[in-house]
Amino acid sequence: MLLSRAFSRELDQDAVKGMEQVSKSLMEIWEILQIPSSPDVQAGKTLLESFFAELGQESADEEVERLAAEYASLFLGVGSKTVSPCESVYRSNSGMLYQSALFEVQRVYSESGMAKNDQYSESDDHISVELMYMAGLCEMTQEAGKTDKRQALQYLGLQQKFLQDHLLQWVPRFCHDLIDTAPPGFYRAMAYLLKGYTQIDSSLIESTVQELNQKQIVKKGRKKTTSNRS
C-alpha cells in the first residue's frame, strides 16, 4: 500500500520508482470509479505530481539521499521538530510511546486473526502498521464478498470500528503536524493524501455497510413473503 510504505521507512530507488507508478494508478482508479475526492486529496495529488516532475531533473542517488535525510529529520528525531507516527504519542496524556493505544491495537490485530508482517520493525501502533491492517481487512472483505456477503459485512464492520476507534482519533492531528513541519514535496503530499484517504474511506465504508444491510433486509423480506405464500 502506497501510504503504508511511505511512512514505514526510508525509500530506496526501487521504492521511489514504485511510488510513482502506484500513485498514478491510484489516482486514475479513483477518477474512473468516481470516488468522491477532497481538497486534501487534491492538494496531495498536486504536490506529488510536482515532486515526480522535479525528480526527473535530479540524479536518483541524490534524490534518494535527500528523502532519507528528510525521513530521519521528520520521524526519527534527527531534526529540530519531529512528528511521531505512533498513535500512543497522540492519544496518551504523557505524549510518550508504548502507551495504552499500543496494547489496544495489538488486541484488535489478535482478535482479527492478523499479525504484523516481519518486514515491519515499527511499533504496532505505528501509522504504517495500522494502514497495513486496514489493507488486510479490505482484501479479506473483497474476497468474502464473492461468496459470503454476511462475512464481508463483518469485515467491513471491523474496518469501520478501527477507523472510528483508532485512525480517526489521531491521524488528523498527525497529518496537521506533518503538513506544518514537512517541506513542500513528498512527505507533505503523503500527509495530505493520508488525511483525505481516511475521510473518504470512512464515508465509503459507512455507505457500503448501509447498502449491504439494506440488501439483507430486502432479502429477508422476500424470503418471508415466499414462505407465507407457501
List the CATH number of the domain containing 196. 1.10.3480.10
Residues 6 or more apart whose Cβ sits within 8 Å of residue 26: 2
Poorest-pLDDT segment among 6-20, 56-70, 133-147, 173-187? 56-70
Structurally, the chain folds into a number of domains equal to: 1
The yes-or-no verdict on residue 139 having pLDDT over 80 is yes
Q: How confident is the model at residue 35 (pLDDT cuts 50, 70, 90)?
A: low
Q: Which residue(s) pair with 138 in the sheet?
A: none
pLDDT at 132: 94
Q: Within a domain: residue 158?
A: yes
Residue 164 lies in a domain: yes
Q: Give the model's confidence band at 58: pLDDT under 50 very low, under 70 low, under 90 confident, else very high.
A: low
pLDDT at 36 > cutoff 70: no
In tens, the pLDDT along 102-123 reads 999 999 999 999 888 777 789 9
- Asked if the model's pLDDT at residue 66 lies above 80, the reply is yes
Q: Regarding predicted confidence, which is higher, 72 or 149?
A: 72
Q: Taking a C-beta distance cutoff of 8 angstroms, is the pair 11, 71 a contact? A: yes
Residue 229 lies in a domain: no
Give the confidence band of 1 by pLDDT, cuts at 50, 70, 90: confident
Question: Residue 89: what pLDDT?
Answer: 97
In a domain, 127, yes or no: yes
- The domain of 99 spans 2-222
- φ, ψ at 117 (rounded to 5°): -65, 140
Report the share of the chain in percent with pLDDT over 70.
90
Query: Cα 220 to the chain's mean position, in Å?
Result: 35
Asked whether residue 89 is assigned to any structural domain, the reply reads yes
- Reference 167, options 108, 223, 97, 217; nearest CA is 108
Task: For residue 228, tell me if it sits in a domain.
Answer: no
Residue 16 has a pLDDT of 85
Angle between the N-to-C axes of helices 149-162 and 186-229, in degrees from 0 to 180, rounded to the nearest 10: 140
Q: 42: which residues sit within 8 A by CB, 6+ positions away?
A: 196
Does residue 59 lie in a domain region? yes
44: Cβ contacts below 8 Å, ≥ 6 apart: 189, 190, 191, 192, 193, 195, 196
pTM over the 0.85 mark? yes
Q: Report CA Rg, the chain.
A: 20
Tell me, yes or no, whether 112 lies in a domain: yes
Question: Mean pLDDT, to the nearest integer, of 165-186?
Answer: 97
